[in-house]
Amino acid sequence: MRANSLALRLFLSATAWIVVILLITGVVLSSLNRQGVERAFDRRLGVYLRTLVADVASPDDANDKNQPSLGEPLFELPLSGWYWQITRLDPGKPDLRASRSLWDGGLPHLENSGVAASANGSREGYVAGPEDQRLRLVERDIDLGDEGHYLVAVAGDAAEINQETRSFDQALIVTFSLLAVVLLLTTMFQVRFGLAPLKRISDGLAAIRAGSAERLAGKFPEEIAPLARETNALIDANKEIVERARTHVGNLAHALKTPLSVMVNEAAARGNDPFALKVLEQADIMRDQVARHLERARLAARLTVVGSITDVAPVVTALARTMEKIHRDKNVAIEVHADDKVRFRGERPDLEEMIGNLVDNACKWAASRVMIEVVCERPDPASANQVVRLVVDDDGRGLSPSEREQVAKRGRRLDETKPGSGLGLSIVVDLAALYGGGLTLGTAPIGGLRAELVLPAG
């Protein structure tokens, strides 16, 4: 799930970047294309402008000054969108000549619009022409001295510029759309197959955690192989530490039990000596404390083992049959209702110890009947985590709330006539707590005590 989430985030991030880059590139290319089209259009107008300027500056061609010929039929068609105009600017000598296409209209001056002249003295810009046409206009001042001062202008229909840039933009949109699809498919392919090794590692770790595997197996790309090697090395080191801790716990147990046994034997040999009795009392306390802390150390070491999963139903069934034989003299009937699919995330000996203590305690106090129920459930609907709920009921006399608090404490026994050390339920409480679970006591529907054990599910 996490690998899929990472792949989705990477794909969405790559998609966003692709879209942004293509949009910026498209805007830049469209702008550059429009500038190029305008320059080409201005060069075309510039050719006509130079022809008009040459005509104005030629004093020998007096007959052609009234109507220069530019070789473009559009200048002859009324309101065609292509116009030229020559305006004499000398004070007191107004003169205006224009193409026939202007009809009775005229062209505005860019000079009056504040457009600056370029290096060659010409000005370019957009103006509104006759019939509100949008025109691209180029004009230039010509000062011939005594021959006069003229403003020569040529304008063309800007619709050609718009049409050409629009065609380019449409082709650009189609091209970039196809490019975006190809890039997205390529990115999806790269993300999916590029993260496949991480997905394998995630699945492998889940299998180790579930107990179906002990190491990350298979070949990985050289970029991921170090991660797999270090993970396997960490698992091996963890197992080695656990085994070493178990060995130390066992050695410590033997090292402490022998001196305690010597002390107890020496004190017991002195009979009713007050000092000997005190030694026996303290030795029992020491033995209890040693047993308790060694047990906790043993359990804590065991819990560090990765990937321990145990089927619950076979353990419960086997313990129920064993307890029926042990308590045969009481003729206790044990009913088991366990889902075969329920699995406990922990080691089998720990599960056997917890269930064995609960069932043994129930059989001791039951009149004739013990019921065991095992289910797997999800406490929080919003979470995927599941727990194993194991309920042991008996039809004995039950316990009051105050008695329930006492029996869970180490060494506390409510009835000295019953066999045992009083450590059973406290061991269950400690062991369940180490697994992140818990034990609660209540009243069983069949009249006796209900012991409800909650453990993590595998």
Residue 292 confidence (pLDDT): 64
- Pairing label, strands 95-98, 122-128: unpaired
Q: What span, in angstroms and rounded, lies between the C-alpha atoms of 203 and 220?
A: 13
3 state DSSP class of 380: coil
Pairwise pLDDT comparison (102 vs 223), residue with the higher score: 102
Mean pLDDT of all residues in 78-90: 89
Asked whether the predicted pLDDT for residue 404 surpasses 60, the reply is yes
Most trustworthy range by pLDDT among 5-14, 113-122, 156-165? 156-165
Alpha helix (H) ranges present in 269-340? Answer: 274-303, 312-326
Which 8-state DSSP code applies to residue 418?
A: S
Q: Two tokens at 156?
A: 């063309």
Mean pLDDT lowest for which of 108-117, 343-352, 415-424, 447-456? 415-424
Residue 422 confidence (pLDDT): 41
Residue 279 confidence (pLDDT): 80
Pairwise pLDDT comparison (174 vs 214), residue with the higher score: 174
Residues 188-245: tens digit of each pLDDT: 887 777 777 777 887 788 777 766 677 787 787 777 788 888 888 888 888 787 777 7
Most trustworthy range by pLDDT among 134-143, 272-281, 343-352? 134-143
Residue 62 confidence (pLDDT): 45
Residue 411 confidence (pLDDT): 43
Mean pLDDT of all residues in 132-138: 91
Contacts of the segment 243-247: beta carbons below 8 A, 24+ positions apart: 245/297, 245/301, 245/304, 246/298, 246/301, 246/302
Residue with token string 């404490």 = 409
Model confidence at 67, in pLDDT bands (50, 70, 90)?
low
Q: What span, in angstroms and rounded, lies between the C-alpha atoms of 228 and 225?
A: 5
- Paired with 375 in beta bridges are 389
Asked whether the predicted pLDDT for residue 325 surpasses 70, the reply is yes
User: What is the percent of the chain where pLDDT is above 90?
Assistant: 23
Residues 42-61: tens digit of each pLDDT: 999 999 998 888 888 775 54
3 state DSSP class of 90: coil
Asked whether the predicted pLDDT for residue 39 surpasses 70, the reply is yes
Mean pLDDT of all residues in 376-384: 77
Residue 400 confidence (pLDDT): 80
Residue 329 confidence (pLDDT): 87
Most trustworthy range by pLDDT among 67-76, 223-232, 316-325? 316-325
Q: What span, in angstroms and rounded, lies between the C-alpha atoms of 119 and 410?
A: 102
Model confidence at 391, in pLDDT bands (50, 70, 90)?
very high
Model confidence at 156, in pLDDT bands (50, 70, 90)?
very high
Strands (DSSP E) contained in 107-245 are: 122-128, 134-143, 149-157
Pairwise pLDDT comparison (299 vs 155), residue with the higher score: 155
Residues 270-311: tens digit of each pLDDT: 777 888 788 878 877 777 777 766 666 666 555 555 557 889
Mean pLDDT of all residues in 422-444: 80
Asked whether the predicted pLDDT for residue 415 surpasses 50, the reply is no
Element (H, E) at 388: strand 387-394
Residue 416 confidence (pLDDT): 42
Mean pLDDT of all residues in 371-382: 85
Residue 303 confidence (pLDDT): 54
Residue 373 confidence (pLDDT): 93
Pairwise pLDDT comparison (266 vs 452), residue with the higher score: 452
Asked whether the predicted pLDDT for residue 414 surpasses 70, the reply is no
What average pLDDT does the structure give for the chain?
A: 81
Residue 215 confidence (pLDDT): 78
Residue 408 confidence (pLDDT): 57
Taking a C-beta distance cutoff of 8 angstroms, is the pair 303, 434 a contact?
yes
